Structure formats: structure tokens, C-alpha cells
Structure 1
């Protein structure tokens, strides 16, 4: 084994994972010049360029992608072995990388992170807020959070929340000024806060129920957002009607700061799930997170394998 090559490989992996020299330097606590030197040293030893560099971007070459695919799992196993050894001595350390949609942060993740920090101060949790259906394995994440119907195939899934409704809400001031819609058709006369999908760029059609059937309703209004939590803020301000998950507005509904409109037309979502590859299940950092989830969020169903239909 070439020891001079080996010591620089974690830097190469960091550049690939972070997508650039500067973010990798920040992640590793190194200077960008030191990161660049390490990558250049590996490329010189291999006599192969691993990254294609321009003034604005850094991307893996074809050889670089193949090399990262070969060495990445080995370094992951080494890291997990170190973490297991430390965990056996009562210390959970390392970086737990989670891919989480923004709406799930407030509903399920924040209370877990608060307790996790108290229990395991040596563990760093890195949250990547992402509303797209990212491949968590390819993205280098330890686990992800999604609605039950959106979980990738052949993953271990752990329930975080019970099923919940997708609800229409508005502030008392809006209702007083514009009235209450009595049917789905009445929404056409209301200021509905639209939601633009970042993945496709299209406008989301609100999913509702009518006569026992699911319907997709195109709505119009003066504001469109890409963040469901901001739709809630706009509803609280009296701007219009928002379409949000019920746990996100539960307190506001209980306090009367928002009204639930057309409750009979609300659909039920399967709830939020933590999911992860089977191979990561033994990692102490993930086990510590799961144990905290169970204690903070309450009883959960046993882990199950989500198979393709």
C-alpha cells in the first residue's frame, strides 16, 4: 500500500462529496490550498485526473467517478469500525448526514436533535434540507426522511409520525373578509397560496377528496411559494388559504389562530418515515439517532423492508 497516497484519499472523497475544493476545505477544517495539494498529489501518483476543473466548477471525471465508487465503501467501513469501537466505550461520535424535507424539520426532527445533543455531545448531525427525491446512497447520506409513499425501494423504514391530514387553513381575519369556502369549487373565488415544485418547476395541484375519490385541484392566488412553512406564515398573516400538513399547524388550530377549512375534503397522508440502507443499520451514530427517535416521538412500528410494488 502506498502510504503517501493513502493519507490523501479522505481529502479526495471530501471534494467528491462536497462538490468542490472550498466546501471540502471547510468540511475538513483545512485550507483550500492544502486540499488542492492533496488532490494533486493523488492525481500525480495515479497519473490520472480525477476532477475536471474550471474557474466556476469542479466535477469528477469518468475515471474519478469509478475510483470514488471503488474506494468509498472501504473508507465508510473503516469509519464505521472506528465509531463502533468508540461506542463500545460509551462514546458516540462522527457525523450523521440526514436528507430531510423542510416540512419534516419542525414536525419531527427538531425535538429529536435537541435530546440527541444532550445524550451524545460528541455526535454531529448534518441536516440537508431537500424536498426532492434524492438518492441518499449516491448523495452520501446516512439516512433520509420522507412520506411513506415516497421511500426508495429496498430500504429499512422506521415510522416517525402517525398518518396525518393535508389540510386547508386560513386566519380568522381572512375568513372574516372573504368568507368560508363550502365546496371545492368555491376555492376558485379565493386567494389560495400556490406551491411551485422545485423538482419539476410546475405548480402543485392540491390533492383533496370529493365523494370518496381523490381529486387534484388547480388553484390561483396572489402568492406562490416553494416552502410549505412559509405558506403557513402567509396564512397566519391573513394573506390567503394555505395547503399544509396538519402537524405543522396543530398548535395554531388549537389556539384559534388558524381555521381548518373543508375538513371533509382532506386527504390522509401515510406519515413521515426515517429510511436508510440495511448496511448502515449497525452504525452507532444511526443507532443513537433511532433510539432517541423512539424515546422522543413515542412508540414506532418495527423496521420493515420497503419492497417494490
Structure 2
């Protein structure tokens, strides 16, 4: 029996997962026209339509879904086995893909992983800066980084950073003509800078706690952003009160450009965790990344 070239099946799996010929072509390193020809040849050979194409997206047909479920994980298994073979090399090699936010990338991931990259030049790390909750299995990431309280239970979660605190802040100019809030309920009479959550699209409800008593406040204001850097800028410009992780505003608090408010209502909470699927065998490269990121226990 003649052996089949599996490149066309790999092309199909990549297109179905990406939902785009453009993104799939970039991932596979081929032109979009060549990828389209490969898919037409595969569908002609099987005499069945595998993909539904529209002007905006590509999605599997019923037959395509069946094929994707049958073979998609097999390519993942092959890739994992090939990566596992790097343990037999003098030095581990391979690519580790991590999805994360920009703050944790700057403050934790890059500082901890830069020495590793110098020590192991054959290891590559790809960072996907994303504020939504990516499906790391479907999107073929090795790991993701989130706050501990938001990680699914079927994932292995490893702490990589210290506890965090939120900080309500405003500029001295904003507070010059207003009385600072004495309790979270006072925020309803202030201009606040809102954050729209990227995953569900709703506005973030400001969460406070004091002596075990939680209190959530729905705030209002003229500005809403879906990322934190412009919120910091708006607060510095006197446009209202912001509510962000302490690390994002601490330099401006030290410089006196921002003033902290309601500090006794902002207790510490679990910080960032690296999470990855429990059923996936880590590659040697990923194991080194994991070890470099683990929060080291301080011995007394």
C-alpha cells in the first residue's frame, strides 16, 4: 500500500485550529496560495468538503470536525515525542510557547528567563501577550500565566511570583479640588477610570476587603480602557481614580505623581501562577523554563 504524504493533513489541522488561511500559512511557513492549493487537493482526493470558507473566517464542516478530532492530537503527540528526544542531546533544545500579560512578562518572566536563555542557546521562548483567557490546549501553548484564583482545576499551577495587592490611586491634581474617599462606597461620587475585561466584555468591578469583609463597587467615569497602561497614563493626567495592581503604579507613588487611597481596604492576594495541562509530558526545554520560574522558598 502506498504511503501518503501527511503534509496536507497537517495543513488541514493547522487551518482548522487557526480559523484562518493567513495565520495557518504564517505558522507553517508557506504562502497562502500554496496552502489553498494543498487543501483543494486534499478535499478532491477525499471527495468531501472539510472546511467552510467565508470572507471573514474558516471553520471545519461536520466531516472536518470528525477528522480534526481523530488526527489533531496525533500531530501533537508526534511533536511532543520529537521534543522529548532533545533530552539525548548535549543541551536541551526546542521552543516553549507561553501566553501572558505584559506586566508579568516585564516584571517576572523576562528577568527570570533571560539567564536561562544565555545558558541554553538552543532553547527558544515565544511569548503571546494577551489579556484574554486563551485556551492553551486548543491554541497549542505550552503554558499560560494568570492569577492563581482564575486557573481551571484540571491544570497544574505553579506559583512564580509573590502575593499581590491592588492599589486605588489618583494624581495630586485630581485630589486638589476633591475630598479623598474614606471608604470604597465614596468612589461612586468620584470620576473613576474603568477597565473592560477582554474575556467577557464586562466592566471590572472594583474588589475591596477589610477585616474579612468583602465589598465590591461599580464605579463610573469618562474613560474606559481594555488594558492597564493607558489607565496609568490617564490617572497621571488627573482624569480620575484608577484601581490597578500595586506593581504597576509603585514607581509613580514613590515619585509622588500618584497618591494611594483606601490602602487598608486592599489586602494581599495570591500572585501569578504558571499553569499547564496535567496530561501533557513536559519537554526538557519546558522543564528548565518551569524550574527557572518557580518561586523559590526562602529558608529561615
- Shorter-chain TM-score bucket reads 0.7 to 0.9
Number of the residue aligned with 2:269: 269
Structure 1 stretches lacking a partner, 5+ long:
302-309
Shift of 1:101: 3.7
CA displacement, residues 163-183 of structure 1 (integer Å, 9 cap, x when unaligned): 211111123333334342222
Q: Residue 40 of structure 1 corresponds to which residue in structure 2?
A: 40
2:87 & 2:171 partners in 1: Cα distance? 49
CA-based RMSD of the aligned residues comes to 2.5
Moved more, 185-194 or 86-95: 86-95
Q: Deviations over 1:144-188 (max 9, x none)?
A: 111111111221111011221111112333333434222223222
In the TM superposition, residue 289 of structure 1 has moved relative to its aligned partner by: 1.8
Match of 2:80 in 1: 80
SS across alignment from 1:273: strand
State the Cα distance separating 1:102 from its structure 2 match.
Answer: 4.5
Provide TM-score, normalisation by structure 2.
0.88
Describe the shift of the 1:93–1:30 C-alpha distance in structure 2 as closer, same or farther (beyond 3 A). farther
Contact 2:17 2:138 in 1 (8 A): no
3-state SS in 2 of match to 1:253: helix
Which residue of structure 1 aligns with residue 296 of structure 2? Answer: 299
User: C-alpha distance in 2, partners of 1:258/1:75?
Assistant: 51
Deviations along 1:44-94, one digit per CA (max 9) or x if unpaired, are 333332211123321112222222222222212221222222343144444
2:110 equivalent to 1:110: yes
Q: Deviations over 1:249-282 (max 9, x none)?
A: 2333333332221101114321111111123342
DSSP-derived class of the 1:138 partner: coil
Closer, same or farther: CA 94–70 of 1 in aligned 2, 3 Å: farther
TM-score (normalised: structure 1): 0.86
> Where does residue 255 of structure 2 map in the other structure?
255
Deviation at 1:2, TM superposition (A): 5.6
Q: Does the 8 A contact of 1:99 with 1:127 survive in 2?
A: yes
Q: Write out per-residue CA displacement over residues 83-130 of structure 1, whole angstroms, 9 at most, x where no aligned residue.
A: 222343144444322232454333433324544443444444333333
Q: 2 CA distance for matches of 1:109 and 1:2?
A: 48
Partners of 1:99 and 1:130 within 8 A in 2:
yes
How far, CA to CA, are the matches of 1:18 and 1:90 in structure 2? Answer: 35
Alignment-derived partner of residue 225 in structure 1: 225
Question: 2:59 is matched with which residue?
Answer: 59
Residue equivalent to 1:304: none
| Equivalent residue runs for 1:116-195 within 5 Å | 116-195=116-195
